[in-house]
Amino acid sequence: MSEHIVIVGAGHAGGTLAVQLARAKDRFRITLIGEEAWPPYERPPLSKQFLMGDVPLEKTFLRPETFYADKGIDLRLGTQVTAIDRTARSLTLSGGETLSYDKLALCTGTRVREIPVVGRDLPGVHYIRTIDDTQAIRTVAREGAKVVIAGGGYIGLEAAAALRKMGCEVTVIEMMDRVMARAVAEPVSRFYEAAHRAEGVNLLLETGVAEIGGTDRATHVVDSHGHLHPADLVLVGIGVVPVVELAEAAGLATDDGIIVDSRARTSDPDIFAAGDCTRHPNRILGRDVRLESVQNAVDQARCIANELSDKGADYAEVPWFWSDQFDLKMQMAGLPAPDDQVVVRGEPSTRSFSVFYLRDGRVTGVNAINVGSDYVRGRKWIGEGRDVDSVRLANTEIPIKEV
C-alpha cells in the first residue's frame, strides 16, 4: 500500500518535493496543499521579468497546470491547514475536512514583514510576494507613474530597476546608510547606489517612512525627515518572516524558523520541513542558518524526497543566490560575516568585478557582478574550505583559476 505524503505549502519547496516524489511511481500517494489559487511557481520573476511583462504567467509555473493531475498528485489550491494533530497524524483544513497522513512535510515559506506606519492598509500600498501582488502592481505601473519603494534590499532594488525600465519615476527609501547592507560589503553597496542613481532612481539613505498618506488610496509618503513624496503606487520590501505558527501550535521546535536536522526532519519523526521556513545545520558554514533562497528550497526538498525514498544523505550545500538589476547580474555564494576581510577583484567602473570575503585566508563568500567565472570559482572554494592569497586574488593579471 502506498504511503500518503501530505505537503503543506505549494511554493518552490513544496512543488519541488511533489515533483521528486512523483518519480517514485506507485510508492507514494501525494497531496499538495496551497493557500494561493496558483500552482507552484517561481517567485524571483515577480520583481523582474514578470513585473515588466517579459514572461507570461504560465512561464513562472514550476510545471504546467496539467502536470499534477497527470502524475496523480492531489493538488488542493485555495486551501489552508488550520491545525495538525500529531497523535492522530491528521490535519484540519479550512473547509473543516480532516486529512490523514503517513508523513507530513511543512513547506510554509515566509510572509512579508508589514510596515508599521499610519496608512499601511490604504489601497495602492503593495508588497511583492505573490503573483496577485505583481498583477496588481502592473495595473498601476505605467510610463510616468510615481512609485515610492520602502526598502533598499534585493527586492526593493530589483523592483526599482524593473519599474524604471517601464518608465516610472522611482524613489527608494532605505533606513540603513547603504543599500543591501545586511548582505553585501560596502564596495558592492556603493556600486549599486551609483548604478541606480545613474538610471534615474531617487535613492534616499538613512531615511525611514514616517507615514503613508491619502484618503481613499495612497497618494504620498512622508519620510522620516518630513519630506513628502507623491505616489501613485507604494511598494514595501522590508523583509519577510518565517511562517511557523502551524508548527508552533503543534508543539514542534522552532527558533526563527522550524528547526530541522541535516535531513530536514523536525522534532517529530513523521514531520519534515523545507525551504525558507526552516532553520537547519549547515556543515560547510559550521552553524545553523535560515535561508531565503530558491537553491535552499529546492535542495532541502530533494533531501526530504531522498530520505523518504531510503536514499537519505545529509544536506550540506553552499548557499547561493542571484539578483538582476538593469544590465547587472550579481551571483552570490556563501554567507560571509560582517567582519570578514573584503577583497575587490577588478574595477567596479567596468561594471564587471567581484568581491571575495575571507576569514583567516579562507574563502567565505563571493559577490560576482557580470563575471560568472569568479562566481563559479568562489563557490567551489567555499565548498572546499579553500585558503587563498588575498594579494594574488586581487590581481586580475593572474587568472582566477591560478589564484
**Residue 213, pLDDT score:** 97
Instruction: Report yes or no: 335 and 364 within 8 Å, Cβ to Cβ.
Output: yes
Third-level CATH fold of 3-111+240-308: FAD/NAD(P)-binding domain (3.50.50)
pLDDT at 381 over 80: yes
Would you place residue 110 in the very low, low, confident or very high pLDDT band (cuts 50, 70, 90)? very high
Instruction: Report yes or no: 73 and 30 within 8 Å, Cβ to Cβ.
Output: yes
Would you place residue 283 in the very low, low, confident or very high pLDDT band (cuts 50, 70, 90)? confident
**Class of residue 215 by CB neighbours under 10 A (exposed 0-12, middle 13-18, buried 19+):** exposed
Task: Give kind and range of the element (H or E) at residue 380.
Answer: helix 372-384
**Residue 90, pLDDT score:** 98
Domain layout of the chain by residue ranges: 3-111+240-308, 114-236, 327-402
What's the grid cell of residue 25? Answer: 511511481
Q: What DSSP string describes 320-363?
A: EEEEEETTEEEEEEE---TTSEEEEES-GGGT-EEEEEEETTEE
DSSP label at residue 78: S
User: How much is the mean pLDDT over the chain?
Assistant: 96
Closest CA to 82 of 91, 71, 73: 91
What's the grid cell of residue 163? Answer: 519599474
The set of residues, in sequence order, having a beta carbon less than 8 Å from that of 376 and lying 6+ positions away, is: none
Instruction: Report yes or no: 196 and 204 within 8 Å, Cβ to Cβ.
Output: no
pLDDT at 136 over 80: yes
Helices (H), 100-153: 131-138
pLDDT at 25 over 80: no
- Whether 3-111+240-308 shares its CATH topology with 114-236 is answered yes
CA–CA dist 5, 237 (Å, integer): 34
Over residues 171-196, the pLDDT tens digits come to 999 999 999 999 999 999 999 999 99
Q: What DSSP string describes 14-27?
A: HHHHHHHHHTTGGG
Beta bridge partners of 85: 90
User: What is the arithmetic mean of pLDDT over 52-59?
Assistant: 93
Architecture category of domain 327-402 in CATH: 2-Layer Sandwich (3.30)
User: What is the arithmetic mean of pLDDT over 214-224?
Assistant: 97
Handedness of CA 283, 284, 287, 289 (dihedral sign): negative
pLDDT at 272 over 90: yes
Would you place residue 237 in the very low, low, confident or very high pLDDT band (cuts 50, 70, 90)? very high
**Residue 341, pLDDT score:** 97
**Residue 101, pLDDT score:** 98
Percent with pLDDT over 70 in the chain: 100
Would you place residue 313 in the very low, low, confident or very high pLDDT band (cuts 50, 70, 90)? confident
Third-level CATH fold of 114-236: FAD/NAD(P)-binding domain (3.50.50)
DSSP label at residue 101: -
